[in-house]
Amino acid sequence: MDWYTPFRAALRHRGWTRKRLAAESSVRESTIDNWLDRDPHKRKEPTLTNAIKVANAMGMTLDEVFQGTPRDDEVDQILRDAGVRFRGLMRGESPGKGRGKASGA
């Protein structure tokens, strides 16, 4: 995956406009416009300095802004694991012992 798609997703997720991102990050709006050009041949990549400014302004890591949101993946995994444990408990399995029956069940 390229950096463009997760970057646009991060902006949408925050509900931020280009203008707000420029104001919050101290990166010129015209520079951000160049990053978000729909034509990939005209699109410019952010410099490391500007990428850091943008990530800091959004309260995210560089990876989260430009490579996707690992935190979302981690949360999804935690919820999947909790669902597996819950279903096991509903079947009478012991919480910490895998598939063994709970005592007194």
d(CA 18, CA 20): 6
How do residues 55-69 score in pLDDT, each as one tens digit?
999 988 888 888 875
CATH 1.10.10.60 fits domain 4-67: no
Within 8 A by CB and 6+ apart from 10, the residues are 58, 60, 64, 65, 69
pTM for the model: 0.62
Split at pLDDT 50, 70, 90, the class of 100 is very low
* DSSP assignment letter at 4: H
Of 73, 61, 68, 98, whose CA–CA distance to 4 is shortest?
Answer: 68
Cβ neighbours around 9 below 10 Å, total: 13
User: Across-strand partners of 93?
Assistant: 101
d(CA 11, CA 83): 30
How do residues 71-89 score in pLDDT, each as one tens digit?
566 666 676 777 778 788 8
